Amino acid sequence: MKRGTYILVVGPTGSGKNTLINAAREAVPGLAFAVSATTRPMREGEVDGVNYHYITREEFMRRVEADEFLEWAEYGGNCYGTLRSEIETALSKGNLILSDIEVQGVRLIREKLPREEYAVVYVDAGSWENLVPRILARGHMSAEDLEKRHQRYLDEASFMAEADYVVENHDGKLDEAIQEFIAVVRKIGE
């Protein structure tokens, strides 16, 4: 049976990745979403087992030891990991499975999976100057935290050239970005 494809969606915070992913989940039948495990606290509106599996650091490290993660990374002081079982089940059934992941994780997955089993989609929301107002609109952030985000932005942005697909999500063009993202997901699934 033909194996499925793992779609890795990368992009800086504030790029609107989540909005695009949610739209694709509604529009593309059979598209699975990989629910990662994380040690970060649940945010308002999130649901355990839907957005993430929220676990303690002890439990996270137990799973690392048990080799349950295809990859894991520390980001902003919290751990995030992709569950091997979830990805393998989808790929073996020939399904499309998508996850929202930062660049360290993508680099690890590229080393582990055969080239034909994954595709990297980068969501580009323009320059750092363009993103700052979007990030600040989500709530107050110290100058130090903003600088950390900036460093991460530079790391993520440098990844754009390595992506298989780039979807532009510029201000005021959300509908176009959603349509383009859905088209890319469908194309990967063909």
Which of 54-62, 69-77, 136-144, 158-166 is the region at the interface with ligand 5GP (rule: CB under 6 A)?
A: 69-77
Token pair for 12 = 């800086």
Phi, psi of 82 (to 5 degrees): -90, 125
Q: How far is the CB of 71 from ligand 5GP (least distance, A)?
A: 6
Query: According to the binding rule CB under 6 A, does residue 135 interact with ligand 5GP?
Result: no
- Residue 166 token pair: 């780039």
Distance of closest approach, residue 59 Cβ to ligand 5GP, in angstroms: 15
- Distance (Å, whole) CA 125 – CA 17: 9
CB of 67 to ligand 5GP, least distance (A): 15
Ranked by CB distance to ligand 5GP, the top (closest) residue is: 105
Nearer residue to ligand 5GP within complex by CB, 1 or 66: 66
30 token code pair: 């059979």
Q: Which is nearer to ligand 5GP, 4 or 105 (CB)?
A: 105
Q: Is residue 101 a contact residue for ligand 5GP (CB under 6 A)?
A: yes
Exactly one of 3, 40, 53, 134 binds ligand 5GP (CB under 6 A); which one?
Answer: 40
Of the pair 75, 159, the CB lying nearest ligand 5GP is at 75
Q: Classify the phi-psi angles of 177: left when phi > 0, otherwise alpha if psi is within -120 to 50, otherwise beta.
A: alpha
Shortest Cβ distance from residue 9 to ligand 5GP (Å)?
A: 8
User: Given the rule CB under 6 A, which residues bind ligand 5GP?
Assistant: 36, 40, 71, 73, 75, 80-82, 100-102, 104-105
